[in-house]
Chain A
């Protein structure tokens, strides 16, 4: 299986690099966001760049969720999976190759984002690179697996697009990568504690802003890792090769299993955790850094 997974991964990497759509959404769009964030929100202030980079890294990593789910459904609908089904390949190899190929494809964008922030926007710090590497690695794999779960529980492109839109909107607007959590009302802040994207985004922002240690991101890492394992297993068990095979209503509930770690972590944070306090404190710190300097009094 390892050889087959590697062969399939190489195929996926080649296909991605030959796809203009992939190059746009995986490279051009994150760069556009990066420049937009730093110029318009950060006003070019180098002190704010680490925080913004954390958000952009989270966005880059989460992008796999959308891309992989659409690709899997498209391959199934077009009958491409059917041809692979004739070969001695199992669903595990097909799914693992999606995750592995995406992992290798996300890093060039991440490295480029770092270099731009450091040498063009004069970001004063590299942050905790080890923590960033770990979060990007496990985050890329986890959000890939979540995308594959969506593809496994939807029956066609239309359904996949609708589900993706809903979930992606939650990730985009409630995790802190676009709208700072500190700006959200209290009841929304409590809701976001149950989203996987929140932990990825806050973990990366922390790793960049105040060089959060491995201990600081441990809970995030554990939740993401457990979610990865659950999501992969769910996707593998309900994997379908044939376009005519439809998944019944109750079977779709298996998708929820991938969110169990975040339901547990969210409940703990709500009752005993300090994440919201840290996020709000972080937001205040950034707001102070980003505020224009006061003119000297006469």
Chain B
């Protein structure tokens, strides 16, 4: 069995009084697309930046391709490609010359013309960086992450702030990389991104890994249950919703009641009858298939998307 490409053990990191990471541990196997899923402030970026060698951990060990990101920084950077959460480059650098410049720093760079084509930047090859749209800048950041033919790719929130169309284009690119058996670690707070792309996901919150597994394994935790979100004109009697037919779990988040039911149809019928009896108006109702959102909710008692 080959060594994991990334090995993280007992990672701790503080920023002053703030404990950003509290014992994070996981491994990334060769050829897999591994996701770190969590809300803003969970510790995803701190983790990935320690792996990239941008930050130093307070405690714990980290190995990337068998190398220590701090002690073997220069060597590690030759085999690792990264795209930051927010990439900044000089405004007056042109797209193609930026790729060529970074390619010069590595031993075995890729052909920059091929990268321009792959990331649909050919028409913008002579454009200045400040002339690019958000999506184009992100595509350039991804191209730069691949310019050195890396063994390991780190992507920090690669689709954050992008519109759905651009996000789908980037998903296609990541799926191509996955088919090429590239080893990728990406951080995200988008559930659909983690579910669609990742072979395995670590759910992280408050600096700890709360759960780790394939999306399917994680969703098994809520297997067979459908999430029904209900908004009412006033609060119902205490515990009433939890006793409805089929309801396995009931909790309140702000003004919404979340019911996990193994028999959603029966639950809804029972709900409507109950509300009619109590004289409570139903203001909204949505049903959701089991997702990582439910896993996160079960683990932390709050939503992934605030």
Contacts and interface: CB of A to CB of B under 8 A. Distances in A.
Contacts of A179: none
A90 B74 contact: yes
A179 B53 CA distance: 50
A19 B93 CA distance: 11
Contacts of A87: 77, 102, 105-106
A7 B105 contact: yes
Interface in A1-42: 3-4, 7-8, 10-11, 14-15, 18-19
Contacts of B52: 86
B36 to A, nearest CB: 18
Given A4-B105, A7-B104, A18-B92, A83 B87 contact: yes
B284 interface: no
Interface stretch (B78-86, B111-119, B271-279): B78-86
Given A4-B104, A14-B97, A79 B88 contact: yes
Contacts of A14: 92-93, 97
A221 B54 CA distance: 39
Interface in A66-87: 75, 78-80, 82-83, 85-87
B90 A3 contact: no
Nearest to B97: A14
Contact of B89 (A7, A18, A19, A80): A80
B305 to A, nearest CB: 26
B101 interface: yes
Given A18-B92, A83-B84, A88 B104 contact: no
A242 to B, nearest CB: 7
A87 B78 CA distance: 7
B54 A15 contact: no
A10 B55 CA distance: 29
A89 B105 contact: yes
A14 B93 CA distance: 8
A88 B101 CA distance: 12
A126 B77 CA distance: 51
A15 B90 CA distance: 8
Contact of B101 (A11, A82, A90, A242): A11
Interface string A80-121: 101101111110000000000000000000000000000000
Nearest to A89: B105
B78 A86 contact: no
Nearest to A6: B104
A75 B93 CA distance: 13
Contacts of A11: 90, 93, 97, 101
Contacts of A3: 104
Contacts of A18: 92
Given A14-B97, A88-B106, A82 B54 contact: yes
Contact of B93 (A15, A85, A241): A15
Contacts of A75: 90
B90 A80 contact: yes
A83 B101 contact: no
28 contacts: A7-B101, A10-B101, A11-B90, A11-B93, A14-B92, A14-B93, A15-B92, A19-B92, A78-B88, A79-B88, A80-B89, A83-B84, A83-B88, A83-B89, A86-B52, A86-B53, A86-B82, A86-B84, A87-B77, A87-B106, A88-B73, A88-B74, A88-B75, A88-B77, A88-B78, A88-B105, A89-B105, A242-B54
Interface of B: 52-55, 73-75, 77-78, 82, 84, 86-90, 92-93, 97, 101-102, 104-106, 144
